[in-house]
Structure 1
């Protein structure tokens, strides 16, 4: 039997074992002239490392797609004028490196409109995806609308609620920029109560917890909801107007 037929037979067997990527990488390395003098085990180990990295990158891309970030390419490395904006990069980098399952701290990104808080929230979420965590990004009004479509007894409601309660990192943007009704508050309360002390929630808003207490329709329930949500770390941005800056410079990111 020729070497080619042996290779193709082995490749077919690897595909049956769902190791197609490894097979492709391995045989590509084996045919590389630079690997001519390499030992078989060296080629094998290099193929394992490359195939694992390819899988990791695919998983990251899939996690970012599923999260539905407003800015799917956001990164802390590309923040514009962080010092002028009052951004504590050291704090952000520490947060980006958080082990969210062992340290499920909530985060509140507080800043006026147009200062880039959504971009920062997305950058933290993308860093979590790159570290292997599952992430979901919603504007609060979109989340409330998505749940209101279903009756609480509907299986689709239960499935979505289960996902929101168990996603590793939940990002709620434009928090209470648009008011929510009693049903919306009840749904939000179920999510936050279930995640409390177990999984982190990142909130981006232009208002403080004091405003949330006033804005929520059920004042009695608002106290316990806000007290749970307003724990953890706060990122205070200055009033540097990123929208105005970008309008002048035509820079593509916020």
Structure 2
């Protein structure tokens, strides 16, 4: 076994896979032999770091379960959508998540609330901030199932753990008393540990009626709404616009 093979084998034993692969490539490229030891070693370290950061980002994105592959670089911020560019630029830094603040995105169906929420989720992952996405109706159903099969503590933990919890389409789907209580518990915990991003077709002054218990509604909304940044999306349905473009070819 050659020295190169021995070294790459040792690197793999240390789980420095990318460094091992890069070292093998260096051995095959004679022009790199002109570099100093420090320069070549620096390239190995940078390759390993880049690979680890890429894997971590992929893990965070998979764990977030974002339904849209959205990114701010692709944001359609035409004036008719009513978005405040300065506010979006500020919020995209995700400082509000680090300060345990919340974000509410409201607007009619199809205007891009879910897409924008996913863009925030993806941006959080880029910044190494764990996120998780749930559709409100699916979450309420999952809470009901977890109540019956005994997995509710596990679900509570999953809802409390990520730094950013995205709750999409709030107001769609019936909320049971159990779901309302779980939501209150999660919101109460997250006031000290993380942030909520909620999207809804309905303005916040309608949210109280979604809860089966007005006392819980008061408690949840007091914790969420009054310390939240807000984005109001306007304009024509983005789905209709995309469909029109496809038809026009």
Give the TM-score, by structure 2 length.
Answer: 0.92
2:208 matches 1:188: no
Deviation at 1:108, TM superposition (A): 0.1
Structure 1 segments unaligned to the other structure (5+ residues)? none
Distance 2:4 2:121 in 1: 42
Q: Does 1:132 align with 2:123?
A: no
Alignment of 1:64-103 (within 5 A): 64-71=61-68, 73-99=69-95, 102-103=98-99
Q: Partners in 2 of 1:121 and 1:209 — Cα distance?
A: 17
Tell me whether 1:164 sits opposite 2:159 in the alignment. yes
Match of 2:203 among 208, 222, 227: 208
The residue that corresponds to 2:174 in the other structure is: 179
Q: Offset of 1:50 from its aligned partner?
A: 1.7
2:221 to 226, 247, 251: 226
Deviates more, 1:7-16 or 1:120-129: 7-16
Which digits, 9 at most, give the CA deviation of each residue in 1:181-235, with x for residues without a partner?
1111111111111101431110011112221112211001110111111122001
Q: CA deviation at 1:153?
A: 8.8
CA distance, structure 2, for counterparts of residue 142 and residue 112 of structure 1: 20
> Compared with structure 1, are the counterparts of its residues 197 and 233 closer, same or farther at alpha carbon in structure 2 (3 Å cutoff)?
farther
Candidates 128, 139, 142, aligned match of 2:138 = 142
Cα–Cα, structure 1 residues 101 and 242, in superposed 2: closer, same or farther, change >3 Å?
Answer: closer
Distance in 1 (CA, whole Å) between partners of 2:145 and 2:186 is: 17
C-alpha displacement of 1:55: 1.4
Q: Which has the higher helix share?
A: 2
Q: How many pairs align? A: 246
Partner of 1:7: 4
Alignment deviations for residues 11-61 of structure 1 (CA, whole Å, 9 cap, x no partner): 111111111221112331343233121011111111111221111112112
Aligned positions of 1:11-50 closer than 5 A: 11-50=8-47
Q: Tell me, in whole angstroms, the C-alpha distance in 2 between the residues paired with 1:145 and 1:26.
A: 51
CA contact 2:96–2:102 (8 Å) conserved in 1: no
1:110–1:237 Cα contact (<8 Å) kept: yes
Question: Aligned partners of 1:37 and 1:18: how far apart in 2?
Answer: 28
Q: Given that residues 100 and 199 in structure 1 are in contact (C-alpha distance below 8 angstroms), is that contact kept between their aligned partners in structure 2?
A: no
| CA deviation map 1:63-112 (0-9, x unaligned) | 111211110x2011112253221122332232121245631210000111
